[in-house]
Structure 1
Amino acid sequence: MKYVLLCIFLCSKLFAQHTISGTVIDATTQSPLAFASIKADNGSTTGSDLNGQFTLESANEITHITVSYIGYKSKKVAVSRDPKLALKISLEPAENALEEVTVNYVNPAHAIIRKVIANKKKNNPNSLGSFTYNCYNKMMLNVRHTDSAHTKVDMSKHAFMMESITKRKFLKPDLSEETVTATRVSGFQNPAFAAVMTDFQPFSFYEDDIRMLDKHYLNPIANGSLDKYQFRLEETRASLRDTVYVISFAPRKGKNFDALKGQLFINSNGYAVQNVVASPAEKKKVELRIRQQYQFTGGQWFPEKMNFALVFNDYPAKQMYMVMDGKSYIDSVQINPALRRRDFGIESVRIAADATRKDSLFWDQFRKEKINSVDLKTYRLLDSVGREHNMDRIVAGIARFIEGRLPIGPIDIDLNRTFTYNKYEGLRLGTGIYTNDKLFRNFTVGAFYGYGLNDEESKYGGEFIYTLSRNHEFRIGAQYYHDLAETGIFGADLSRKSLFGYRKYIASRFDMKDGENFWVEFRSFRWFKWKFSMATEAVTLKYPYAFFPTPLVPVTDYHNTSLNVNMRFAFRERLSTMFGQRTSSGTDFPVLNVSYTRGLKQVLDGELSYNRFEAQVDQSFYTKNFGTTSYTLQGGYVDTPLPYGLMFTGEGSYDREVPVIMKNTFQTMRPYEFLSDRYVNIFLSHHFSGLLFKAGQFQPGISLHTNAGWGDISRPYVHNTDYRIKRNWFFESGLQLDSLLKADYFGIANAGFGIGAYYRYGAYSLPDFKDNIALKATFTFTLK
C-alpha cells in the first residue's frame, strides 16, 4: 500500500508541474476584482478569490491566460516562465453598461433567479435554529491615486489598521451575541472599541432589505425583484459535480428605487448564493462595496469570507481616494448546536475584559492572514504616535462629548447645563461638574450652578451616584436641587434633556422646585429598564396662575411628595458597550415607556394625593419599495385636579423665532395652548427617501406627516389661567423636504437644509388661513 501512495504522490507532482499565480485588480482604483474568470490557452480554468488572487495549476505548459470580469475589458496576458513571479493583471472598465432587453426574449437568468428566490428561506443562515462560529476581522485604511502615474503615496504602511477576533452565537429568531476576544487598533494602547463584520455589511445576503451605511437597498433576490432589476447570464462554470451560474444585475431603466449592481454566483446545489459582489448602483462620494463568499458545510450554505471596501471618492483631494478595506474570515462553524436563551448575555456585542492584552501567540493562532511587513510597520509607527499624542484619551473624550459630557482629567463638564437658553431665563450662564472613572470607578459626585440673565435667579444642586453592577445597569443615587422644571412634560420623554433637543429652547412656563430626590435604577429580564424614585419638593410658580381646589381658596405655591416608577421595554434591543458606556443600536420592535406617579399627602409635608399615568409607544420600520414609517403613540391620565405644572400641556412647538421642526410635537400648536388631565396623541410620519424623486445631485428627502391629538379636563374651573380644551380631535398634516440645500462637510458628507410645511385643520383650525400654516426648517446630516 505504501508504494501505491508513493506513486500517487509522485504522479500528482509530475502532472501538476505548471503553476502560475497572480492578482486581478481594477486599473483605475487598484482594488482587487473578486471572482474574475481566468482561462489558460491549454483549456485550464480557475477564478480569483475575494482578494482578487488566483492560482492555476496544469499538467500542460501554459503560455497565455485570458482574464475576464463582468463590466471590464477582457485581457490576454503572456505567462512568465518563472513560477515564483506572480502576475499583477489590471483590467480596464468596459464602456458599455448592462443593456436591457426589450424584444421578445426568454431571459435564462430569470429562471435561475426564480429558483434562488424560492430557496431563500432554506439557504438563509439566519433561518437556522442556531449556529456558532469564530471570525477574524482585519481593516486597513489607505490613500491612493486614481492616476497610476502618481508614485508619491507611501505604500510601505497603512494609514490606519485594526484587527479583532470574535466568537458569535445565534439562536432563532434573532438572539445574537458576539464576543470580541481580542482587539488591536493602530495608535491605541488600550482601545475601548472594536470592529465586527456586521458593522459594515449584512451577515446574510438573503434579506429583502440590504442595509449599507445609512441606506436601505432592495435585494436583487427579493420577492418582486424581477420587475425592478435587469439580469443577464454572463457565464456558466463547472464546479465539481455542480454548476455555477454567473449572473450580472443592475436596476432597470426608468425604475426609481435604491438599487444595487453587481454579480451573483449561483450554485446549482440548492440554487444558493455561492459568491456575491455588490455596490450601490448610483455613484456617490462615499460608497460601500461588498464581496461575500459562502461554503457548503453541514448540509448548509454558510458565509466563509466577507470583504468590504468603504471608498471615499475624490477625498482627500481630486484624483485621490481614501479606502477602508475590510476582511472577515469565518471558521469553526457549528450548525444547530444546543443553545438556550440563558446562554446569552444582555449585549449583542461585548468586548472581553482582556481583549486588548492578548499576546502574539494568541493572535497567530487565529489570524487567517499572516501579518506582513506593512502591517508591522503600521503598528510600530502609529502606536508610537498614539502614545505621544494620547489618542486613547482623545477618542474617549469625543465619545463622551457626543453623550453631552466634556472630560477634563478626573472630571466631566455637563454640556447640557453649560450656557443653556430658554424663553423664560434667556441665556443661563453656568455649568455642571461630575467626577468620572479616573477618580472613582463606581462612584460619581456632581454639582451644577446656573444664573438666568432674564429672571436674574440662581439655580444650583448636587448629586451622587453609586454603581452596584455595570452589567445590569444597577445604580442608586440622591440629589438636591433648586432648579426650574417646565410644566406638563411627559414623564418618560427625555428629548428635552438632550443636547440637541430644540423644544427646550422655546419653553417659557416653569415651576421653581426646591427639593430632594432619591432613586434606584436597573435592567431586568434583558429588555426591561426600571427607575424608582421618591421626591419631595417645594414648588413655586413662575407664571400668572392660581389653583382653586376649593372655592375662594387659591393655591399658588405648594409642597409635593411623590413616588415615581418609570419602565422602558425594548424587545430585542441591540446593545453594546464602547468606551465604557452601554449604547443601543435600536430594535425592530415597538419601544414602550410607562411612567406612574403617586402623590403622597402628609408624607414629608406633601399636600397632594393623586395618581398620574403616562405611556408612550414608538417604532420605525422599513417597508420594501415604500420607505420608512415611524409612529409615536402617547397617552396620559390624572385621576384628580392638580396644579397646572402637574397637568398635561406643552406639546405644541409653534414659535416664530425658532421655526425648526421638533419631533413628537404639534408643529402648528402654540406652546401651552391646551390643558388636559387626560390625553391621547398620535404622531405618524413616512419617509420615502429617494423612492419618489431623483434628478442628478438634486435628491431631496421627501416625507409626509400627520399628527392628531385629543384631550379633556374634568374640572376646568379650578384653573385660573388662559387655556383651551381639545375635547375634539386636533389635526395637522405636513410635507417635509430635506436637503434642498447642501453644505459640504470635509468633502465626504452634506449638512442638508430643508423645509417643512404643516397645515392645521379640523375643529381647532384658526379663523385666519395663514395662522394655520407653519413653515419650519429641517437639518440633516448624510454621507455624499
Structure 2
Amino acid sequence: MKKLLILFVFFVSLAASAQTLKKFKLIDSATKEVIPFANILFSKTDFKGTSSDIDGVFYIPSHLKTITISYVGYETRVVNVAQLRSELIELTSKVSRLDEVFIDSENPAHRIIKNVVSNKALNNPENLNSFTYISYDKIYVDMDDTKPQSDTLKTTQSAFKDSYLFITETIAKHKYLKPRFTEDSIIATRTSGFKNPNFALLANSLQPFSFYKEHLNWFEINYLNPISKGSTKKYKFRLKEEFIKNNDTIFVISFEPKANRNFDGLEGLLYINSNKYALESVDARTVNSGKVEFKLQQKYSYIDGNYWFPEQLNFEIVIGEGFGSFKYIGKSYLSEIKPNASLSKKDFPLVSLTLSKNVGNKNSKYWDEYRKGILDKKELRTYVFIDSIGDKVNLDKVLALPQKLQKGRFPLKYIDIDLLNIFRANKHEDTRLGLGVYTNDNILKNISFGAFAGYGIKDKEWKYGGSIAFDVPGKKDISIALDYKNTIREVGTFSGNEIENPFNPRNWIAREMDAVESISFRTDMKLLRNINWFIGFNTAEIKPLYDYTFNQNNISITNYNNTEVNIGISYHVNEKLINNFGIITRLPSNAPILNLMYSRGLNGALDGDFNYNKLKFTLDDSFIIKGIGETTYKLDLGYIDSTLPFGLLFTGEGTFDKKLPFIVENYFQTVKPYEFLSDRYAHLFTTHNFGRLFNNKGYFQPDVLLHNNIGIGSLKAASDHQFIDFSTKEELFLETGLELQNILKIPYLNIGYLGLGFGAFYRYGYHHLNNSNDNLALKLSFGFSFR
C-alpha cells in the first residue's frame, strides 16, 4: 500500500509539473515560417520573460493572463492567453521605417559591438579547457519551392509532395580538450533509405561550432565575421531594439556589409546579452554568394552561472539557382553540457568521428529521450517512402561508391576498375589508353590483387604491372602493398613515383622519361596523432628513353640499376580525421602540413649501382590577412649527397610550354620543364589572393592573385651529364605573376561555375633571358567556384 501511495504521488506531481508551463510556437502570418529569438515579456513591471528558440517555440507559466511579443520587422503583439485556441501564434510583418543615420563615432551599436569583440576570448566556448555534451542532429533535404523549377523537377517534386527527399538523424557524444583534441562518438543513427550505419552526418559539423572566429569558412570561402576586430569599419550596424529580460539587457543589432566592400560578408541580426556582452543568439546569412547560399542560426545559454555555451545550432544551405534548387537543412540540439570536464589526451582516439556498436539498432523509446519534440507527418512519411525505395534498389551499395572514387576506382560486384589507368596524356606517349582491375572485399576481405596494362600511342609501347595489397584491420590504418611494374617514369620524380594524376596539367607536358622495371614493397601506417608514416623498398632496372650518358669515375653509363629504402613522415597540424562512408578521411584545413621523405640508395643490394642519401622536405601553409586576403605558400627543399644519373636528380620544376600554357600551382611558370638540374635546392612558392577587388556584384567578378616564386640550387660534377642541355640555379631565380581567376564563368550543373582565368608571369634578376619576350609567360587557369 505504501509503494502504491508513493507511485500515486509521483504521477500526480508529474502531472502538476506538466501543467505549470504552456508551450507555444511563433510563425509568420503570411509565410508560416517559424520566428526565432522573439522577445516574450511576461510583465512590464519586473521584466520577467523568455524568448522563442530556433524553432520558434517558447514556454510560459500557466497562470499568465497576457504576454507581449516583439520581434524586429514585426508588429508588437499583446496576447490574451485565455483566448488562444492553438499553440501557434502568428505575427504580422511591418514595413520597416528608414533607419536613423549616425556618424560612426555616435552610433550606439558600435559601442556594443566593440564590447562584444573585447569579450570574445572570455565568451568563446572553444577557449574553455575542455567540455563534453550530447547532441541530437537532424538533416533533411528538400526542393526549394521559393524558386522556379524545371518540368523534370516539378515531376519529382510532385512525387515527393508529402515527404522530403532525404532525412537522417544522429545522436552523438562530443568531447573537446584544448587546443585541438576532439571526438564525436555516434551512439545512434538512422538514415532514410539506408541500413548501413556508416552513413552518419552531424549537423553541427557543417557549420561553425561557435560564432566567435575571425572568419567563417563555407565551401572554401572565408566570410568576415561581423564581430571580428575592426568590423565597425567594414559593416553597417544598427541598434534595432533593446529590452530587459530578467536582470539583463538584450540588444538586437542588425548588420550588413558596407557599400563598395572588397570582402565576403554576412547580413542578419545579433542578440547581445549585457551579461559579459555575450552572444545570446545569431541569425546570419551569406551575401552575394553565388549558387550556394548559407544561413545559420545559433542560440546560446548561460551554463553553471558562468559560461555561455551553444544550445541550438541550425543551418540551411540552398544549392542552385533558377530551375533546380535544393535546400539542405540541419538542426542540432545540445544537452548534458559539462564545461571543464575532466579529460586528458589519452581519452581521444586518432579518428575524430567514431561509431559505437549497435548504432543502427536503437528503439523509438531511446530516440524520444533525445529528440526535440516528435517527428512530424512529413518526416515520418520520408522514412517510410525512402526506405521502400532503398529496399528496392539497395541504396546501401551507394556507400561503396565515394569510398572507391576517392581511391580512383569504380566498384563492380567482384572487381574495381582503376579509373586512373583508363586514360593518360604526356608528350612522350601522346596518349595512353589502358585498363586496371583489382579484386574487392566481395572476393577476399581486406586483401586485393590485380593488374593494369596500357598502350602508348606515340611510343608504341605497352606498360603493365600487378600488385597485392592488404589492409590490416584495426584503428592504426595500416596497409601493406607489393607491386611489380614495367612502365615509364618522368625524370626527377622521387623514390619510384610515376605519373599518378591524369588531370594535372603538369603531367601533360612531361617529356623526358625513363623506362623502369621495378619491384617495390611499401607499408603505410598511422601510429601517432597527426602523423602518417610510410616505409618502402624499391629495386629497379632503369633505361633512359632520351639521348644521355652518365660519366661515373670515367666510366660511361646509360642503363643502370637502383635499389633504395624509403621512409616518409607527414605531419598535419590540427588534423581532424573522420570515418566517412567506412573509410578514414582527413577534413580540409588551412593548418600547416609538413612532409619529410628520405631515401637511401644501396650499392650492391640486388645489383644496385649507387650509394646515396636523398632528402626532400615540404611545408604547405596558408593564413588570412584581414581585409587584404589569403596567402598560401609552399616551401620545398631537396638534398642529395652523391653524384647520380639525370633521372635520379632533382628537375622538372618548370611548366613553361607554349602549346599547353596552363598555370600549375607550386611550379615555376616561366621555366621550361627540365631547364634546371640540381642535387640540392630550395624553392618558395607564394600566392596571395586579394579576392574580388573590382566589385562584389555583377557578372565580372574575378579573383586577383599575386604570385611570387623564388628558387636556388646547385649541382656537383655537372660535366658528368652528357648529351643533355640544362642550367643550374647557383644564383637566385625570381619570377612574379598576376592572375585573374574566373574571368569567364560557365554555369555547371546548376551548383556552381567552371571558371576560365588568365595570368602573366615574368622572370627577372640573374636568370633573366637576353630576349625580353622569352621572360614573359602568358597562361590560362581553370577552376570551379560556387559564386
1:316 shift after superposition: 4.0
Distance in structure 2 (CA, Å) of the matches to 1:465 and 1:277? 50
1:624 aligns with 626
1:700 aligns with 702
1:87 aligns with 88
> In structure 2, which of residues 183, 199, 222 is the aligned counterpart of residue 177 of structure 1?
183
Distance in structure 2 (CA, Å) of the matches to 1:478 and 1:98? 71
2:483 aligns with 479
Per-residue CA distance 1:458-515 (angstroms, 9 max, x = gap) = 1111111122244212222211111111100245989x52353221111111111112
Within-5 A mapping of 1:387-398 = 387-398=391-402
Cα distance change of structure 1 residues 87 and 476 upon mapping to structure 2, 3 Å threshold? closer
Q: CA RMSD in A?
A: 3.0
1:308 aligns with 315
1:118 aligns with 118
1:695 shift after superposition: 3.6
> In structure 1, which of residues 293, 297, 301 is the aligned counterpart of residue 299 of structure 2?
293
Asked whether the 8 Å contact 2:252–2:269 carries over to 1, the reply is yes
1:264 shift after superposition: 1.4
1:685 shift after superposition: 0.6
Per-residue CA distance 1:412-436 (angstroms, 9 max, x = gap) = 1111111211111121121211122
Q: Are 1:756 and 2:762 an aligned pair?
A: no
2:137 aligns with 137
How many residues align? The count is 765
Cα distance change of structure 1 residues 279 and 512 upon mapping to structure 2, 3 Å threshold? same
Cα distance change of structure 1 residues 117 and 18 upon mapping to structure 2, 3 Å threshold? closer
Q: Are 1:101 and 2:102 an aligned pair?
A: yes
The one-letter code matched in structure 2 to 1:218 is L
SS where residue 379 of structure 1 aligns? helix
Distance in structure 2 (CA, Å) of the matches to 1:86 and 1:67? 14
Within-5 A mapping of 1:487-506 = 487-491=491-495, 496-506=499-509
Distance in structure 1 (CA, Å) of the matches to 2:577 and 2:145? 39
Within-5 A mapping of 1:360-509 = 360-491=364-495, 496-509=499-512
Within-5 A mapping of 1:4-83 = 21-25=24-28, 27=30, 31-37=33-39, 47-55=51-59, 68-70=70-72, 72-74=73-75, 83=84
1:278 aligns with 284
The one-letter code matched in structure 1 to 2:380 is L
Distance in structure 2 (CA, Å) of the matches to 1:88 and 1:322? 29
1:591 shift after superposition: 1.3
SS where residue 388 of structure 1 aligns? helix
1:691 shift after superposition: 5.3
Per-residue CA distance 1:557-594 (angstroms, 9 max, x = gap) = 01111111111111221111212221112344321111
The one-letter code matched in structure 2 to 1:295 is S
Cα distance change of structure 1 residues 80 and 314 upon mapping to structure 2, 3 Å threshold? farther
Cα distance change of structure 1 residues 593 and 285 upon mapping to structure 2, 3 Å threshold? closer
Cα distance change of structure 1 residues 73 and 236 upon mapping to structure 2, 3 Å threshold? closer
> In structure 2, which of residues 250, 255, 269 is the aligned counterpart of residue 249 of structure 1?
255
1:717 shift after superposition: 0.7
Asked whether the 8 Å contact 1:571–1:591 carries over to 2, the reply is yes
In terms of mean alpha carbon deviation, does 122-131 or 217-226 score higher?
Answer: 217-226
1:263 aligns with 269
Distance in structure 2 (CA, Å) of the matches to 1:169 and 1:705? 41
The one-letter code matched in structure 1 to 2:313 is M
Asked whether the 8 Å contact 2:424–2:502 carries over to 1, the reply is no
Within-5 A mapping of 1:717-732 = 717-720=719-722, 721-732=724-735
Cα distance change of structure 1 residues 191 and 690 upon mapping to structure 2, 3 Å threshold? farther
Cα distance change of structure 1 residues 435 and 636 upon mapping to structure 2, 3 Å threshold? same
The one-letter code matched in structure 1 to 2:780 is A
Distance in structure 2 (CA, Å) of the matches to 1:491 and 1:514? 14
Distance in structure 2 (CA, Å) of the matches to 1:169 and 1:96? 46
The one-letter code matched in structure 2 to 1:547 is F
The one-letter code matched in structure 1 to 2:353 is V
1:332 shift after superposition: 0.8
Asked whether the 8 Å contact 1:137–1:196 carries over to 2, the reply is yes
1:83 shift after superposition: 3.7
SS where residue 163 of structure 1 aligns? strand
Distance in structure 2 (CA, Å) of the matches to 1:730 and 1:330? 55
Per-residue CA distance 1:185-214 (angstroms, 9 max, x = gap) = 212121533222333211111111122333
Asked whether the 8 Å contact 2:566–2:597 carries over to 1, the reply is yes
The one-letter code matched in structure 1 to 2:570 is R
Cα distance change of structure 1 residues 697 and 191 upon mapping to structure 2, 3 Å threshold? farther
Distance in structure 2 (CA, Å) of the matches to 1:247 and 1:492? 60
Per-residue CA distance 1:341-399 (angstroms, 9 max, x = gap) = 11111122233353233333332332223223322210111011122222222343144
SS where residue 424 of structure 1 aligns? coil
1:512 aligns with 515
Asked whether the 8 Å contact 2:314–2:329 carries over to 1, the reply is yes
Asked whether the 8 Å contact 1:18–1:61 carries over to 2, the reply is no
2:3 aligns with none
Cα distance change of structure 1 residues 716 and 570 upon mapping to structure 2, 3 Å threshold? same
Distance in structure 1 (CA, Å) of the matches to 2:42 and 2:747? 49
1:78 shift after superposition: 8.2
Distance in structure 2 (CA, Å) of the matches to 1:493 and 1:33? 58
Distance in structure 2 (CA, Å) of the matches to 1:154 and 1:237? 43
Distance in structure 2 (CA, Å) of the matches to 1:431 and 1:77? 73
Asked whether the 8 Å contact 1:682–1:709 carries over to 2, the reply is yes
SS where residue 497 of structure 1 aligns? coil
Cα distance change of structure 1 residues 146 and 587 upon mapping to structure 2, 3 Å threshold? closer
SS where residue 106 of structure 2 aligns? coil
> In structure 2, which of residues 169, 179, 191 is the aligned counterpart of residue 163 of structure 1?
169
SS where residue 604 of structure 1 aligns? helix
Asked whether the 8 Å contact 2:226–2:266 carries over to 1, the reply is yes
1:535 aligns with 538
Cα distance change of structure 1 residues 562 and 110 upon mapping to structure 2, 3 Å threshold? same
1:557 aligns with 559
1:3 aligns with none
The one-letter code matched in structure 2 to 1:111 is R
1:607 aligns with 609
SS where residue 385 of structure 2 aligns? helix
1:90 shift after superposition: 6.0
1:80 shift after superposition: 9.3
Distance in structure 1 (CA, Å) of the matches to 2:115 and 2:598? 54
Cα distance change of structure 1 residues 19 and 357 upon mapping to structure 2, 3 Å threshold? closer
> In structure 2, which of residues 205, 211, 214 is the aligned counterpart of residue 208 of structure 1?
214
Cα distance change of structure 1 residues 74 and 563 upon mapping to structure 2, 3 Å threshold? same
TM-score with structure 2 length normalisation?
Answer: 0.91
The one-letter code matched in structure 2 to 1:156 is D
Per-residue CA distance 1:140-192 (angstroms, 9 max, x = gap) = 222243389x9979653212111111111011112111112222221212153
SS where residue 571 of structure 2 aligns? strand
Give the % identical residues. 37
Distance in structure 2 (CA, Å) of the matches to 1:407 and 1:612? 38
Structure 2 residues without counterparts, runs of 5 or longer: 1-8, 149-153
The one-letter code matched in structure 2 to 1:409 is K
2:639 aligns with 637
The one-letter code matched in structure 2 to 1:651 is E
1:41 shift after superposition: 12
Per-residue CA distance 1:644-681 (angstroms, 9 max, x = gap) = 10011111111222222111111111111111111111
TM-score with structure 1 length normalisation?
Answer: 0.91
Distance in structure 2 (CA, Å) of the matches to 1:614 and 1:705? 23
1:619 shift after superposition: 0.9
Asked whether the 8 Å contact 1:519–1:532 carries over to 2, the reply is yes
